[in-house]
Amino acid sequence: MFSSFMLNTWIVGSLVALVAGIAGFFVVVRGSTFAAHALPLGTFPGAAFAGLLGVNPLYGLVAFAGLGVVGIFELSRDQRTDVATALTLIFLLGLGTLFLSLSSQYANGVYALLFGEILGISDAAIIPVAVIAGLVIAAVALFFRPLLLSAVSPDLAAAGGVSPRHVELVFLALIALATAAALPVVGALLVFSLMVGPPSLARSLTNAPLAALCASSVIALLMVWAAIALSYATNFPIGFFVGALAAVCYAAGRLLRRVQ
C-alpha cells in the first residue's frame, strides 16, 4: 500500500481531497448541491472529447467544466439557477453521447471515469492537479469573504458592494476546478459525494466559518486516505468507498445536529 508505485496515488488523492473539501464547504453553505452534482456529470463528456483528440483527459475536463460554468452563468440571467443548471447538463450530456458513439477506443475508459480509478497515476498527472489545487486555494483566499457573505446574507453583501453575479461566477469556477481535479480519481458519479459529505459534518462540528472550512478539508483528506487503503486491500473501486464514507459523514452530521 505504501510501495513506490502507490506514491502518486497518495499525492493526487490528497490534493483532490483538499480541493473538494474547500470547494464543498461553499457548496453546503450556499445550498448549491445541484450545481455540485450537475457539473461533474457535465464535464464527463470533456474526457470523451479529449479521447477523440488523443490528448490528456484532464484538459478536456477543464474545458468542459468551463463550458458548463458559462452555460449556467449565462442561462441564469433569464432562468432560475436550477433550471439553467438542468439545461446546461442536458446539453453537455448530449454532447457526451455523441463523442462516445464516435470513439470505440475510448469506451474502455468510461467505467474508470464514472466510478474512479486512482491506481497507476503517472508523474505527469500530478502537475496539472497540483496547479488546479493551487488555483482553488488562491481563489478561496482572495474571495473568501464575498463568497461567505453572499451565502449567509445576500442583502448585506449587496449593500456592501458585493455583486451577486460576480460571486456566483467565482463560486461556479471553484466547483468546476474541483470537479476537473477530482473526477478522474473518484469518478463523475461520486465527485458530488466528496464535496457534500465532509463539509456537512464539518458544519455540524463548528459554527466558525474558517474552522469549518479547515475541518472540511481534513475530513475529506482522511476519507480519501481511508478509501485508498480500502480500495487497495479489496480491489473494489475507490469511488464505492468514497461514496459510502461520504454517506457516513453526512449521516453523522445530521445526527450531531439533532443531538445539539
Q: What is the pTM of this model?
A: 0.81
| pLDDT score of 42 | 78
| pLDDT score of 1 | 63
DSSP string, 115-174: H---TT--GGGHHHHHHHHHHHHHHHHHHHHHHHHHHH-HHHHHHTT--HHHHHHHHHHH
Residue 23: CA atoms inside 13 Å, Cβ hemisphere, count? 35
Pair 228, 10: CB distance under 8 Å: yes
| pLDDT score of 117 | 67
| pLDDT score of 167 | 83
**Cβ atoms < 10 Å from Cβ of 175:** 27
CA distance 174 to 17: 14
CA distance 33 to 252: 18
Domain boundaries, the chain: 4-259
| pLDDT score of 108 | 55
Task: Of 173, 193, 172, 196, give the one whose Cα is nearest residue 183.
Answer: 193
Express each pLDDT in 110-145 by its tens digit.
Answer: 666 666 666 667 777 788 888 888 888 898 888 888
Residues of the chain with pLDDT under 70: 1-5, 103-120, 154-155, 157-158, 185-186, 189
CATH label, 4-259, candidates 1.10.8.60, 1.10.490.10, 3.40.50.2000, 1.10.3470.10:
1.10.3470.10
Residues 6+ apart with CB under 8 A from 97: 45
